[in-house]
Amino acid sequence: MSHSPPSRPPGNEVQLAALARDVAGELALLHGMALALQETLSECRVLPAQRPVLLARLQAIDRISQGLADLQRLMEDLPACLPDDLAVLQDRILKRVQLRQLADRLAGSGSAGSGAPADAARPTAPGEVLLF
């Protein structure tokens, strides 16, 4: 007895190359945010120079920035290595993304592909600071 594959709703698949490009855009956004955070903390000068342990911990932000930039480049180059018809089930691949706006952008129902992911990081009101 042969089993037929489960039926999939139309539009439930996403090309892996397109998803990789969208992820690269999100990584670029995060990289920019990490760089802005580094600059902001440098300008605040809230830590006295005699606290090297804290300064060393803040250096981890630079490591995060570098890692995001590397992952961005990887995801930008990945589509060239993938077959054009390679697709994944969108619902299945995005179900682990907890940030709803991010999942929507990656699913194409937000601003993905429009070059607008950076708008998602902007505060909703001028001067608004959201701390966790």
Return the axis-axis angle of helices 100-107 and 16-44, rounded to nearest 10°: 140
The pLDDT score that the predictor gives to residue 52 is 77
Dihedral sign of CA atoms 101, 104, 106, 109 in order? negative
Nearest residue to 18 (alpha-carbon basis) of 132, 108, 97, 121:
108
Instruction: Give the largest CA-CA distance in the chain.
Output: 74
CB contact at 8 A, 106 and 98: no
Q: What is d(CA 126, CA 122) in angstroms, rounded to the nearest whole number?
A: 9
Domain ranges in the chain are 13-116
Q: What is the pLDDT of residue 17?
A: 94
Q: Is 45 exposed, middle or buried, given 0-12, 13-18 or 19+ CB atoms closer than 10 A?
A: exposed
Tokens of 67: 């890692």
Which positions of the chain have pLDDT values less than 70?
Answer: 1-11, 45-50, 109-132
What's the token pair of residue 78?
A: 């990945």
